[in-house]
Amino acid sequence: MRFTQALIRTSKEAPADASGTSHVLLTRAGMIRKVGAGIYDYLPLGLRVLRKIEGIVRAEMSAAGALEVLLPALLPAEYFQETGRYTGFGDTLLRLKDRKGAEYHLGPTHEEIITDLVRREVKSYRELPLNLYQVQTKFRDEARPRAGLLRCREFLMKDAYSFDVDEAGAKASYEKMRVAYNRIFTRLGLDYRMVSADSGAMGGSTSAEFQVLTQSGEDAIAVSDGSDYAANLEVAAAADPRASPPAREAPLARERVHTPGHGTIEDIARFLKTEPSRFLKSLVYLAVRAEASADPERHGGVETVMVVVRGDHEVNEIKLARALGAAEVFLANPQAVEDATGARVGFAGPVGFKGKIIVDRDAAVVARGVTGANETDHHLVNVEHGRDYDGEVADVRNVVDGDASPDGAGRLKIYRGIEAGHIFILGTHYSAKMGATYLGEDGLAHPIVMGCYGIGVSRLVATAVEQHHDEDGISWPMPIAPYHVHLVTLGMDEAILAAGRTLEAELVAKGVEVLWDDRDERPGVKFKDADLLGVPLRVTLGGKGLASGVVELKRRSDRSKAFDALPIATAADEIARRVREALG
């Protein structure tokens, strides 16, 4: 492809409303343009990247035995009404009416639609298992679209659904997808981790996220440096401190100290000349009991709980809710804290607290602890769990960088990640509600056991940029690059242009995708654009090189100025070889 015919419009500056590295670079490179909040055009170069990603996803899904279908994006309301999600999805569902006033919505995901298809097409256990997938535009009226392609209202997603006769079959289908997903993300050239995650309210205990490691992801994930343990921070387990207990300091007598005006931990630590890790941070939570969650006011299923974590740790609300068997937990407001403790916020503590107490495992082993006295302007020092206060001990904190890995091997490092894929077993949640059954060998109808598997295809375009860029621009992994080779000819000298034409033709004949910058621009402009666009191999053909019979080959990811001088006669062979090598 000739640059002059490719509709590539680069710019030095990005629009002021572009936020995030990938949004800025993709816009500056002329690959995407914003049409509205969370709505984008893909220009030719950007579309090529999107298509490359789709191609890899399709190839691996197909290799794993999944069949491609295409379900509608425009959906009559009745299907989501069957499972209660027409209202349950809330404002995220983009609803509309047709001329007759009938209700429709745009599909945010397609469990109901695929389940409907399968309940009509599949009758017998002989027709299972089945795995159907599609690559379709999804619509979600996000409360807050942001960061360009990373969180859109309209986005491209690959979603697959497996259908099996029983749990064991569903597990086998899930395993196939797990393997396929690992192959996909590896082929895309991304540094990613498969992590265990909160499966959410949707049910299904078996689930895994595929997180692409970036500097600015929305999610925090904990990864062990000594094993393959990796988990979303939401669910990452803290190592049990009793596995390697610290040298125990002899307990001292508990004392009450006057700490006027000091409410924060840093403050009191300085005042008492001690460390935040000595503190028993005591937070008052309201836990909504699971069975009462639909309407807590009416059922009154709310319990006040004091949560104790070490002063340098944070409460993990998902783990806390799980430990309490609660549907949701909320931090109590200041008035509720005062009511519960009898002291102003900042002076709460477990000693003498009348209600339920949950103690984080690391807080329970703190010796000579410091905590609030449940009396304004007073703290207690030399507090010991088991002697001065009690409470159920559980893992309710966020892990922090440097923690021991819960599997005992290595230490945890915290990364930022972008969720690019999620796989999980749904069970019979949808099939039971929608009557998707098969006739078994026993002649009876059974609900089909389902799994679902998503990949954010358009999000991956931005994710790849977040992971592969430098101050000059994008640096695409070869498998998803818009072109394999960026040919730069310097000057408009006919001898150089002729050599360019020849080299382009030779490369194309070998199956190499070439973008030839044939513009009448100065070298600096061409090099800057090449760096911005991020095609992985740059081939330069200039007067000096031509005179000595060589072309220059340089990898975009190589930050040095060094290049390989290739003899013109054999350059195409060598370049094609490097492309094949990089494609893996």
Residues that bind RNA (CB under 7 A): 10-17, 19-20, 28, 34, 36-38, 89, 92, 108-109, 142-147, 151, 157, 159, 200-202, 218, 422, 452, 454, 472, 490-491, 522-525, 527-532, 540, 542-545, 552, 554, 561, 563
Q: DSSP state, 428?
A: T
The strand pairing partners of 135, in sequence order, are 158
- Report the nearest approach of RNA to the CB of residue 350 (Å): 26
- Paired tokens of 177: 């997808």
Nearer to RNA, 271 or 563 (CB): 563
- Report the nearest approach of RNA to the CB of residue 529 (Å): 5
What gap in Å lies between CA 279 and CA 271, rounded to an integer?
A: 13
- Report the nearest approach of RNA to the CB of residue 439 (Å): 29
The enclosing H or E element of 454 equals strand 449-456
Query: Which residue is listed with tokens 């015919």?
Result: 5
- Report the nearest approach of RNA to the CB of residue 70 (Å): 17
In the chain, count H helices and then E strands: 17, 31
Query: Which residue is listed with tokens 């000349």?
Result: 273
Nearer to RNA, 393 or 490 (CB): 490
What gap in Å lies between CA 471 and CA 463, rounded to an integer?
A: 16
What gap in Å lies between CA 174 and CA 258, rounded to an integer?
A: 59
Nearer to RNA, 157 or 461 (CB): 157
Question: Residue 403 phi/psi, 5° resolution?
Answer: -60, 150
Question: Residue 399 phi/psi, 5° resolution?
Answer: -70, 155
The answer to whether residues 279 and 265 touch, using CB atoms and an 8 Å cutoff, is: yes
Nearer to RNA, 91 or 266 (CB): 91
Asked if omega into 129 is within 30° of 0 (cis), the reply is yes
Nearer to RNA, 201 or 444 (CB): 201
How far is CA 170 from its chain centroid? 24
- Report the nearest approach of RNA to the CB of residue 528 (Å): 4
Which residue type, as a one-letter code, is found at position 360? D
Other C-beta atoms closer than 10 Å to the C-beta of 317 total: 18
- Report the nearest approach of RNA to the CB of residue 563 (Å): 7
Nearer to RNA, 147 or 373 (CB): 147
Burial degree of 501 (CB within 10 A; 0-12, 13-18, 19+): middle
- Report the nearest approach of RNA to the CB of residue 205 (Å): 14
User: Residue 34: which of 51, 19, 56, 12 has the closest Cα?
Assistant: 19
The answer to whether residues 379 and 344 touch, using CB atoms and an 8 Å cutoff, is: no
Q: DSSP state, 376?
A: T
Nearer to RNA, 153 or 193 (CB): 153
Query: Which residue is listed with tokens 């679209």?
Result: 145
Strands (E), 343-389: 356-360, 369-372, 378-383
DSSP letters, 417-461, are EEEEEEEEEEETHHHHHHT-EEE-TTS-EEEPEEEEEEEEHHHHH
Nearer to RNA, 240 or 521 (CB): 521
- Report the nearest approach of RNA to the CB of residue 223 (Å): 20
Which residue type, as a one-letter code, is found at position 382? N
Nearer to RNA, 281 or 556 (CB): 556
Nearer to RNA, 558 or 573 (CB): 558
- Report the nearest approach of RNA to the CB of residue 115 (Å): 14
Nearer to RNA, 366 or 434 (CB): 434
- Report the nearest approach of RNA to the CB of residue 465 (Å): 15
- Report the nearest approach of RNA to the CB of residue 246 (Å): 33
The strand pairing partners of 306, in sequence order, are 284, 357
Beta-carbon contacts of residue 347 (< 8 Å; ≥ 6 apart): 259, 263, 341, 372, 373, 374, 375, 376, 377, 378, 379
Nearer to RNA, 543 or 567 (CB): 543
- Report the nearest approach of RNA to the CB of residue 39 (Å): 7
Question: Residue 576 phi/psi, 5° resolution?
Answer: -60, -40
